[in-house]
Amino acid sequence: MSSSQSMPRAALSARWFAFYVVSVGAALLLVPNLLLALFGMAPTSEIWIRVVGLIAFNLGVYVWISAHHRRFLQASVYTRALVFIVLAGFVLAGMAEPMLALFGVVDLCGAIWTWLALRADDQARGALAVGVAAAARP
């Protein structure tokens, strides 16, 4: 992409989501109890929270790199919505503290943003194609 072009809206939404996931992942990996305390969750000494942090950090890197791939962005809309559904289900089933659902809400908002951005990018491309076709006519 040349510097004269702006980043597609959907790619921008993915990059912001990647930044969020890398940040949460790094916090869970390095200082998990600080992050848990910020959300009113019980501290833990289990290694699994750090493993989840490492996975989240790596996922954020993958999202950053894949931000310009449409099929990835489309899939991310559904998978991030699924995160909300599953985490809310855990809370409703009494398996997790209600604050866990907040992470799902962030994913759901990001999914909606990316979905809307994909639609806006499609409309912009359609308008550009119409303009190019009209300009090419004698």
Give the residue-averaged pLDDT of 125-138: 58
pLDDT in tens, 75-104: 999 999 999 999 999 999 999 999 999 999
Degrees to nearest 5, angle at CA 129 with 125 and 132: 135
State both tokens at 115: 């979905």
Predicted TM-score (pTM) of this structure? 0.81
Percent of all residues in the chain with a pLDDT value above 90, rounded to a whole number: 80
Distances (CA, A) of 23 to 18, 20, 54, 57: 8, 5, 11, 7
Give the residue-averaged pLDDT of 26-38: 96
pLDDT in tens, 112-130: 999 999 999 999 887 655 5
Q: What mean pLDDT value characterizes the chain?
A: 89
| Cα–Cα dist 36/16, whole Å | 22
pLDDT at residue 69, rounded to an integer = 94
pLDDT surpasses 80 at 134:
no
| Cα–Cα dist 80/104, whole Å | 8
Cβ of 47: how many Cβ atoms within 10 Å? 9
pLDDT surpasses 60 at 68:
yes
| Cα–Cα dist 104/89, whole Å | 10
